[in-house]
Amino acid sequence: MTIKLTYGDIRIINNFLVQSLNPKKEKSIHRMRVVKALEEKQKQVADESNELMKEFAKLDDEGEVVYLDDGQPAIKDKRAFNKAQVALLDEEFVLDDKNLQSALNTVKKLVNDYGKELVGDDAIAHFTLVEAFENAEEENTEGEDKDDE
């Protein structure tokens, strides 16, 4: 199984998986494997975001970002930076590690069976995961149909 998510969804999905789902034993281990894989992607996008900031920010003599008195980076072209930042966060990535197959199947079942009322970011994260798993199933079914031809 492979699921597609956007970099911008990682934080709320991880928070949902860690704080709202409370599985026991093996299911908890599987959940945490997925969380760990998402955390690695989150670190990657944070590094990329920092590199992006360096492209748009004023830099000091040592090549470090200059910050304003309010703690915000001194961005030269805020509109262009915001556009690039949104593009980065809207980028899709695929979670398809062969070692995560059973973990993804467990998380899929946990998410689909989740019965509590959700609001805010948890509701968004739940919906995003349900949709990602449904899309993965559809793509898998389409792939099988092509194999039959």
**Complete DSSP assignment for 59-88:** B-TTSPBPB-TTS-B-BS-HHHHHHHHHHH
**Tens-place pLDDT, residues 67-84:** 999 999 999 999 999 999
Q: Which range marks the domain in which residue 116 is found?
A: 3-148
Average pLDDT over residues 51-79: 93
What's the distance, CA 44 to chain centroid? 11
Helices 10-19 & 25-56, crossing angle to 10 degrees?
A: 150
Please check the confidence at residue 145 and state whether its pLDDT lies above 90.
Answer: no
Top-confidence residue, 144 or 35? 35
The band of 144, judged by pLDDT with boundaries at 50, 70 and 90, is: low
Taking Cα atoms as reference points, which of 36, 43, 30, 53 lies closest to residue 101? 30
What domain count does the chain have? 1
